[in-house]
Amino acid sequence: MELLRGALRTYAWGSRTAIAEFTGRPVPAAHPEAELWFGAHPGDPAWLETPEGEVSLLTALTDDPEGQLGPASRARFGNTLPFLVKVLAADEPLSLQAHPSAAQALEGFAREERLGIPVNSPVRNYRDTSHKPELLVALAPFEALAGFRQASRTTELLRALNVSDLDPFIDLLNDQSDADGLRALFTTWITAPQPDLDVLVPAVIDGAIQYISSGATEFAAEVKTLLELGERYPGDAGVLAALLLNRITLAPCEAIFLPAGNLHTYLRGFAVEVMANSDNVLRGGLTPKHVDVPELLRVLDFTPTAEAQLRPLIRRDGLERIYDTPTAEFALALLVLDTDHLGHEVDAASSHDGPQILLCTEGALTVHGKSGSLTLERGAAAWVGADDGPIRLSAQRPAKLFRATVGL
C-alpha cells in the first residue's frame, strides 16, 4: 500500500483553484488544471510514493502483476489495470462528445492502424482498443448535458424560443418523435453548411435572449446554457445540438453513468470520475480539438433518455454507498465515516477482490492493510495492491473515501 500521486493534466477548460485547493497547493495555480489521473494509462500513469522514491504505477504493475492485480483481475483483463480514476475540475464547458462501445473501439483502432495514423496524432480518434463507459460523481455542484431528451419535451423547448427558423425542425421532430427523429434532426444540424449555421445559430441565440428577458423560467437553465455555449462558440453546430440534451445539475455525491454512445458535455464543476482505462473520444463540436462528425454519428445512441435513467442506483452495504453500474472494468463506492466511527478500526472489506484505488475527499482517516497503514487527508489517494487487501479503516475526523475496484 502506497500513497498515489495523480498525474496532473492542464487543459484550457480547467480550473486554477479547484484541484490546487483539493491537493493543498498554492492557489491560484499557474495553469488551468483540468484532470488528475489516478491509474496506469500508458499516456499518463500515476506515481507510487515508495521509500526508494517515486515509481510509476505502470512500472509497478509490470514488475509484479500477480501481487498488484491479483489472479482474478489478471484472468479477466490481463496485466493492465482495467479502470482509471480521475478528479475533474471544469471552469468552462468541455467538447460535445461520445465514447465507443467495445466492438466499435476494436474496429476503429484497427481501421486507424491500417490507415497509418500515428496513435498520438491529434486527428486520431481511437487511441486504444477499449470502450470507455464513465461514471461521474459530483464533489461540488456539477452541471452537464447528457443523453437525448424526450423529443416531445425538446419540441416544447424549441417552441418556447419562438424562432421561425426553427419551425421546419419542430415539424420534423413532431412527425417523428423517436430515436429516428432525433437522429435526423441531430444529423441535419451537425452536418449543416457553415453559411446556414451562420444564420440559424444567431437566430436561436436571439430567441434565447428574448426568452430570458421575458422572465420565463420553465427552460431557464437550458436557455442560459445555450447562451453561454453560443457566446463561446458562435456558429458552432454543437450549440444547436446542445438543445437536444438533458440539462443536468448534480449535488455533491450524486452521479451520472454514461454508457457507450451517450452524447454529453460537462459544463462546469468539480467531480470524481471512474472509467474503463481508455482515451477514446469522438467529438462533435464545442472545441478547438479534432472533430470527426461522421465517426461520431456511427457510435451515437439516439434513444431518448430521461435524466433519471442516467443516475445510477446507489446501494448501501455497511459503510459503502455503491454506485450501481453494469461495467465489468470498474466499480465505485463511497465510504462514509461519521462521528460514530471515530477512534476505532472498522472493517472495510469489499465484495470485490483485486486492486483498489482509494481517494479521500473529506476529513482524515487511516487505511490498514497487510503491509502496514497509511493516513489520508482530503485530496490524497492510495494504491492498495491485491495482495494487501482486505483493508480496515479508522477515522481521525469524519471522512469520505472513494474506493474504485474492478467490477463484478
> What is the spatial distance between Cα 363 and Cα 375, in angstroms, rounded to a whole number?
11
Report the binding-site residues for Zn(2+): 97, 99, 134, 264
Backbone φ, ψ for residue 112 (5° rounding): -70, -30
Contact of 312 with 352, CB cutoff 8 Å: no
> What is the spatial distance between Cα 266 and Cα 251, in angstroms, rounded to a whole number?
14
C-alpha distance from residue 177 to each of 80, 105, 200, 264 (Å): 43, 30, 22, 20
Transcribe 257-277 into DSSP letters: EE-TT--EEEEEEEEEEEEES
Q: How many CA atoms lie within 13 A of 168 on its CB side?
A: 6
Report the binding-site residues: 97, 99, 134, 264
Q: Where do runs of H (alpha helix) occur along 32-82?
A: 57-63, 65-77
Select which of 149, 283, 321, 403 is catalytic: 283
Q: How many CB atoms lie within 10 A of CB 33?
A: 25
- Which amino acid, residue 34? A
SS (H, E, C) 150-214: CHHHHHHHHHHHCCHHHHHHHHHHHHCCCHHHHHHHHHHHHCCCHHHHHHHHHHHHHHHHHHHHC
Name the β-bridge partners of 53: 50
> What is the spatial distance between Cα 93 and Cα 266, in angstroms, rounded to a whole number?
6
Would you give the DSSP letter of residue 6?
Answer: P
Residue 76 a catalytic site member: no
Which cell goes with 209?
A: 435572449
Catalytic residues: 283
